[in-house]
């Protein structure tokens, strides 16, 4: 596995080490490709490959006892937190999962329901194949892509509490957006959001945390309780 998020690669390595206790602990190496650093974890196991090649429905007995961990890994790999501040007028957010395998999204939808997380599934209405730019590089998608989205605030809070992300930047974005909306409401939260994040092209990027924390103590709600991180 080669990914740009070190948090994700470390989590993957720890899980592999648990599956293969007689193997030396799996380590994360790094490499650069087209100016982008990637973190790499390697494992060679025909048994594991054959096991994971089964349809997700046949793995239900293995997945169900560890459903939050399964969902967390799925959202780490294929999910994102989408935040919009509508030019400072209103802060809105959603968590989205994309995949070309509709069955995986349907299975994730069923598992999310176990934790009172309401989600909807749909299909992108775009021509196939389509080219998208990811981190500045063109990537061609030849198959139809489907999406699963979580929008309701109560469901997003349940998602944060029961599932969340291993990837730190995704988890922080989820937590900050939810807490700002809860503490300030959607209108005031739009301005508070730009104190923590700045726009870099189409992406929201965290400002320097230490500088922001020194200048802006953690906001508190009207009841006096602090942010839930």
Render pLDDT for 188-206 as a digit per residue (tens, 0 to 9): 999 999 999 999 888 899 9
User: How much is the pLDDT for 174?
Assistant: 97
Q: Is the pLDDT of residue 55 over 50?
A: yes
> Is position 220 within any domain?
no
Instruction: Please indicate, yes or no, whether residues 82 and 8 belong to a single structural domain of this protein.
Output: no
When mean pLDDT is compared across 51-55, 95-99, 150-154, 199-203, the lowest value belongs to: 199-203
Instruction: Please indicate, yes or no, whether residues 19 and 71 belong to a single structural domain of this protein.
Output: no
Q: Is the pLDDT of residue 87 over 70?
A: yes
Instruction: Please indicate, yes or no, whether residues 30 and 81 belong to a single structural domain of this protein.
Output: no
Instruction: Please indicate, yes or no, whether residues 82 and 34 belong to a single structural domain of this protein.
Output: no
Instruction: Please indicate, yes or no, whether residues 28 and 90 belong to a single structural domain of this protein.
Output: no
Instruction: Please indicate, yes or no, whether residues 102 and 208 belong to a single structural domain of this protein.
Output: yes
User: How much is the pLDDT for 123?
Assistant: 92
User: How much is the pLDDT for 226?
Assistant: 40
More confident residue, 190 or 132: 190
CB 117 within 8 A of CB 108: no
Token pair 């948090």: residue: 7
Instruction: Please indicate, yes or no, whether residues 80 and 47 belong to a single structural domain of this protein.
Output: no
Instruction: Please indicate, yes or no, whether residues 123 and 89 belong to a single structural domain of this protein.
Output: yes
Instruction: Give 8-51 pLDDT, tens digit per residue.
Output: 999 999 999 999 999 999 999 999 877 789 999 999 999 999 99
Give the residue ranges of DSSP H helices in the chain. Answer: 6-19, 46-52, 60-63, 67-78, 102-113, 153-162, 168-196, 209-215
User: How much is the pLDDT for 106?
Assistant: 97
| Residue 177, domain CATH | 3.10.28.10
Instruction: Please indicate, yes or no, whether residues 154 and 41 belong to a single structural domain of this protein.
Output: no
User: How much is the pLDDT for 227?
Assistant: 43
CB 40 within 8 A of CB 9: yes
Hey, which of 22-36, 168-182, 204-218 has the most confident mean pLDDT?
168-182
Instruction: Please indicate, yes or no, whether residues 35 and 4 belong to a single structural domain of this protein.
Output: yes
Which of 53, 70, 93 is the C-terminal boundary of a domain? 53
Instruction: Please indicate, yes or no, whether residues 132 and 195 belong to a single structural domain of this protein.
Output: yes
Whole-model pTM? 0.81
User: How much is the pLDDT for 127?
Assistant: 62
> Which residue range forms the structural domain that includes residue 4?
1-53
User: How much is the pLDDT for 35?
Assistant: 75
Q: What residues have CB less than 8 Å from 12, skipping those under 6 apart?
A: 1, 41, 73
> Is position 141 within any domain?
yes
Given pLDDT bands bounded at 50, 70 and 90, which one contains residue 140?
Answer: low
CB 119 within 8 A of CB 109: yes
> Is position 98 within any domain?
yes
Residue 177, judged by CB atoms within 10 A of its CB (0-12, 13-18, 19+), counts as buried
> Is position 185 within any domain?
yes
> Is position 223 within any domain?
no
> Is position 222 within any domain?
no
Q: Is the pLDDT of residue 163 over 90?
A: yes
> What is the mean predicted confidence (pLDDT) over 47-56?
91
CB 17 within 8 A of CB 23: yes
User: How much is the pLDDT for 139?
Assistant: 65
Average pLDDT, the chain: 86
Q: How many domains does the chain have?
A: 2
Given pLDDT bands bounded at 50, 70 and 90, which one contains residue 228?
Answer: very low
């Amino acid at each position: 596995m080669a990914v740009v998020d070190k948090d994700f690669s470390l989590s993957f390595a720890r899980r592999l080490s648990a599956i293969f206790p007689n193997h030396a602990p799996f380590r994360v190496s790094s490499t650069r490709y087209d100016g982008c650093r990637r973190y790499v974890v390697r494992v060679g196991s025909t048994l594991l490959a054959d096991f994971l090649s089964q349809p997700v429905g046949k793995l239900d007995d293995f997945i169900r006892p560890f459903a939050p961990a399964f969902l967390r890994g799925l959202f780490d790999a294929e999910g994102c937190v989408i935040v919009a501040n509508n030019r400072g007028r209103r802060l809105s957010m959603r968590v989205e999962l994309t995949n070309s395998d509709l069955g995986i999204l349907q299975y994730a939808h069923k598992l999310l329901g176990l934790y009172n997380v309401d989600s909807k599934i749909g299909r992108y209405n775009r021509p196939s194949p389509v080219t998208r730019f990811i981190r500045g590089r063109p990537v061609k998608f030849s198959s139809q892509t489907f999406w699963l989205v979580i929008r309701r605030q109560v469901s997003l809070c349940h998602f944060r509490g029961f599932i969340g992300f291993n990837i730190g930047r995704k988890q922080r974005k989820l937590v900050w957006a939810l807490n700002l909306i809860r503490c300030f409401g959607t209108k005031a939260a739009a301005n508070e959001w730009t104190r923590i994040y700045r726009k870099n092209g189409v992406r929201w990027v965290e400002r320097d945390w230490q500088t922001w924390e020194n200048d802006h103590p953690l906001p508190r709600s009207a009841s006096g309780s602090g942010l839930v991180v």
